[in-house]
Structure 1
Amino acid sequence: MSEGFLTRPMLRSPAWQRLLHDVYIHRDARLDHRVWCRAAALVLPPGAAIGGLSAAHLWGLEIREARVSVVLPRSRSFRPHPHLVTHRTTLVPADLTVHEGIPVTTPERTAFDLGRRLSRAGALGLLDAMLHRHILGLDAVRTMTEQRLTWPGGAELADLIRIADPRAESPMESHLRLLLIDARLPPAIPQLEIHDRSGGFLARADLAWPESDLIAEYDGDQHRDRAQFRHDVTRLNALRTAGWTVLRFTADDVLRHPRRLVATVSAALAEAAERQSGRHPQSAGR
């Protein structure tokens, strides 16, 4: 508008929608979170950037977030808006970059911030996802965390960094793995390739204990599809034929019945140990 392409009367017409102060978009344009981030970037004060979940979205993660998250130096002020949420924090130039023309926190600073704000399961899922997509350098975020260990949540994030794994393929897989780690069960291998006795590829397991011939799988909503269900049955039978025990869990198990889930895995590992010791589980102790 300052260059004379549009006048204020034109912007007040039904053809344009006001997003923020002096920021408008054509009514036919697609209005998604990325567009809101671009709009917010136009009104940011110097030294501020898109951060938090919005930054993670811009870096390529599939995150559903309504409001745009903005990080501000503590000395800066910013006009509040219902579609924006602001976080005042200490920022140094190395924390910020420009991505697709938008000022944004670096992947490392984004992971550092969200890793301290989200739940443990949410933070681990974020770390795993950023590592899996090669967005994040684990050494860089580890170094940043060690340098700012006294920041709120820094020590907790450092613990999660130790178990973050780029092989995880979904947040719920990460949540499932965290439940088992917190229960102090033997560590499982994420996304292990399973082969039959002749060496042919059978499947990749979400979590596997090869020494126990045990697999734990998270079944998301996509497994309700009829074609996917038929594929799952064939895959499950092939794994059983190859000597693997397969445990399947849903979101209800992970989110609402974590103790039952852990007990199920623990019992299966104990049964595998009994078999390996040459005793039948039912006759043990009798």
Structure 2
Amino acid sequence: MTYVDHDPDIELIRDLNGQGRRFDSVRVTRTDQLDSADVMMIDGLAVTNPVRTAYDLGRRTPDWRALGRLDDLARQTDLDLRQLWVYARDHPRTKGIRQLRELSALIDPKAESPGESWLRLLMIRHGLPRPESQIVITDHRGHEIARFDLGYRRYKIGIDYDGVDFHTSPADRAHDSRRDMRTRDLGWEPLRVTGERLSADPHGVTDRIAEELAIRGFESSTRAARPA
């Protein structure tokens, strides 16, 4: 059984005997590549261990969703990234292994949504420095006034990913506005990225972040060229 995130699909793995098919939200996968060491027991149920689960999830497309699931898995289990690297090394010809190798180096258990993982992946691929996740901002008395999804503490840039289900009501927007004003008073520049904008104009999003980094003193001669 692979790791289950917020969607309801469940995957069952079996040997090559019998059929592999889908029953509603349950998909049966047939394979002869599952070793006994890849399996562990939880509450009497045989499941793939965190490394094998990461190996399966990290090779699937789209890559941004795969990274979100890897982040989620790392946050909720004892996934050992070194063991994952070794496992990937020992399976060099498996479909999707190149993607897994890239994503395994980018896993961040602090990420709290697939959207944050997606944004972080795009930022890194566009040559921006790897951002820190879940940056807490406090006032002079040590009270928390904000927590940014992503950002750069050195340059005082905070970035929030606003999904469809959050930050949309008038009360949410008013709260966000007050919070942003308070962080600006402390020298921070808050940036907001919606899922809609990220999907429609990813280059525009990363360009905006790059512009703010440049304004605040970041220099890079290695920023990746835009993909065609």
- Residue 97 of structure 1 is matched in structure 2 by 40
Q: Could you tell me which residue of structure 2 aligns to residue 88 of structure 1?
A: 30
> Conserved in 2, the CA contact under 8 Å of 1:73 and 1:88?
yes
Question: Which amino acid is the alignment partner of residue 171 of structure 2?
Answer: A
Displacement after TM superposition at 1:211 (Å):
2.0
1:191-235 CA-to-partner distances (Å, cap 9, x unmatched) read 112233565432221111122221111112221134333321221
Shift of the alpha carbon at 1:246?
0.9
Distance 1:80 1:184 in 2: 41
CA pair 140-197 structure 1, distance change in 2 beyond 3 A: same
Q: Greater CA deviation, 172-181 or 148-157?
A: 148-157
**Is there any run of 5+ residues in structure 1 with no aligned partner, and where?**
1-50, 277-286
Q: Are the equivalent residues in 2 in contact too, given 1:197–1:242 (CA < 8 A)?
A: no
Aligned partners of 2:19 and 2:30 also within 8 Å: no
1:163 alignment partner in structure 2? 106
Comparing 100-109 with 155-164, greater Cα deviation is found at 100-109
Could you tell me which of 162, 177, 182 is aligned with 1:233? 177
How many residue pairs end up in the alignment?
216
Larger helix fraction of residues: 1
Q: Separation in 2 of the partners of 1:117 and 1:237?
A: 41
Q: Which runs of 5+ in 2 are unaligned?
A: 220-228
Q: What displacement does 1:187 show?
A: 1.9
Q: Specify the alignment match of 1:77 in structure 2.
A: 18
Q: 2:129 aligns with which of 186, 211, 216?
A: 186
Q: Identify the residue that residue 19 of structure 1 maps to in structure 2.
A: none
Q: How does 1:58-137 map to 2 (within 5 A)?
A: 61-65=5-9, 68-74=10-16, 76-78=17-19, 80=21, 82-83=23-24, 84-89=26-31, 90-137=33-80
Q: Is the counterpart of residue 203 in structure 1 residue 150 in structure 2?
A: no
How many Å separate the matches in 2 of 1:251 and 1:187? 20
Change (3 A) 1:234 1:70: same
| CA deviation after TM superposition for structure 1 residue 268, in Å | 1.2
**Aligned AA (1:256):** A
Match for 1:244 among 179, 183, 188? 188
CA contact (8 A) 2:20 2:28 kept: no
Aligned partner (choices 83, 87, 96) of residue 153 of structure 1: 96
CA, structure 1 residues 198+85, in 2 after alignment: closer, same or farther (shift >3 Å)? closer
Check whether the contact 2:132–2:152 (CA below 8 A) recurs between aligned residues: yes
Q: Give SS of 1:145's match.
A: helix
Q: CA deviation at 1:273?
A: 1.9
**Can you list the C-alpha shifts for 1:99-124, whole angstroms capped at 9, x where unaligned?**
33333222221111111123210111
| Deviation per residue, 1:20-77 (Å, 9 max, x gap) | xxxxxxxxxxxxxxxxxxxxxxxxxxxxxxx3xxx312xxx32232xx4222223x22
Distance in structure 2 (CA, Å) of the matches to 1:256 and 1:230 = 25
Bigger mean CA deviation after superposition, 156-165 or 222-231: 222-231
Which one-letter code corresponds to 2:3 in the other structure? A
SS of residue in 1 equivalent to 2:148: strand
Retained in 1: the 8 A contact 2:134–2:150?
A: yes
1:80 CA drift (Å)? 4.4
In the alignment, the residues of structure 1 paired with residue 193 and residue 20 of structure 2 have an alpha-carbon distance, to the nearest angstrom, of 46
1:115-159 per-position Cα deviation (integer Å, ceiling 9, x unaligned): 112321011101111112235332332222222132111222011
